[in-house]
């Protein structure tokens, strides 16, 4: 199996690899995440993932770089990471009883062949109708910190979700099955 390098410091993404039995090397990208708020979310995530992969590929040899970027989108609005508890509360209230999309762009770069693949995955997430006490109880768990959309589906945030349509791991931050499909198709390798 080829060496894989994850261009992300996200513990959630690293944990996904651990769950499938891969102790992946992590090299954090140093790019600054800048985008225009009126850009198309799929383009934003794919562009940022590609920038991260290229950045890390300049520092790593003989590996396939895997990079990703995830956003939460409600309607036409990109919902980022909350600034503080008040911002998280407002975000959770806005998501309550509604559907939103989680979009993860990913990039794969082979440092040997220089093959570069960029794609994305979209998952629809439907929140339950949440009352104020549920939102406050969730905020007390502090899972909202550093999470797009102010929740973590892999933790207590799972109690906020009524259902999803699409890839669960995409909501966590890495559409691992689609990434593996791309590795097989374009790089003749697999995570299995």
| CA–CA distance, 43 with 137 (Å, rounded to integer) | 35
Q: Domain residues of the chain, as ranges?
A: 4-187
Beta-carbon contacts of 57 under 8 Å, excluding residues fewer than 6 positions away, are 65, 109, 111
Beta-carbon contacts of 156 under 8 Å, excluding residues fewer than 6 positions away, are 138, 141, 143
> Is 69 among the catalytic positions?
yes
pLDDT given for residue 108 in this prediction: 98
Per-run averaged pLDDT (10 residues), the chain, 192 residues: 88 94 92 76 95 96 96 91 95 98 98 95 98 97 93 96 98 97 96 90
| Number of C-beta neighbours around residue 42 at 10 A | 18
pLDDT given for residue 37 in this prediction: 66
| CATH code reported for the domain at 4-187 | 3.90.950.10
Contact 77, 98 (CB under 8 A): no
pLDDT given for residue 2 in this prediction: 75
| CA–CA distance, 24 with 10 (Å, rounded to integer) | 12
The catalytically annotated residue of 69, 101, 110, 119 is 69
What's the whole-model pTM score?
Answer: 0.93
């Amino acid at each position: 199996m080829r060496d894989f390098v994850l261009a992300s410091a996200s513990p959630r993404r690293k944990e996904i690899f651990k769950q499938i039995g891969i102790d992946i090397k992590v090299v954090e990208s140093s790019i600054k995440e800048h985008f225009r708020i009126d850009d198309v979310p799929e383009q934003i995530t794919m562009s940022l993932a590609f920038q991260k992969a290229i950045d890390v590929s300049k520092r790593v040899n003989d590996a396939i770089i895997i990079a990703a970027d995830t956003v939460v989108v409600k309607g036409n609005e990109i919902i980022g990471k909350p600034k503080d508890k008040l911002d998280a509360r407002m975000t959770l209230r806005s998501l309550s009883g509604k559907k939103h999309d989680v979009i993860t762009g990913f990039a794969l770069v082979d440092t040997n062949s220089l093959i570069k693949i960029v794609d994305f995955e979209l998952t629809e997430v439907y929140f339950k109708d949440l009352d104020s006490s549920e939102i406050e109880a969730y905020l007390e768990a502090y899972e909202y910190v550093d999470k797009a959309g102010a929740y973590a589906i892999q933790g207590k945030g799972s109690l906020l979700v009524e259902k999803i349509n699409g890839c669960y791991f995409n909501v966590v931050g890495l559409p691992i099955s689609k990434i593996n499909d791309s590795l097989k198709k374009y790089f003749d390798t697999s995570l299995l």
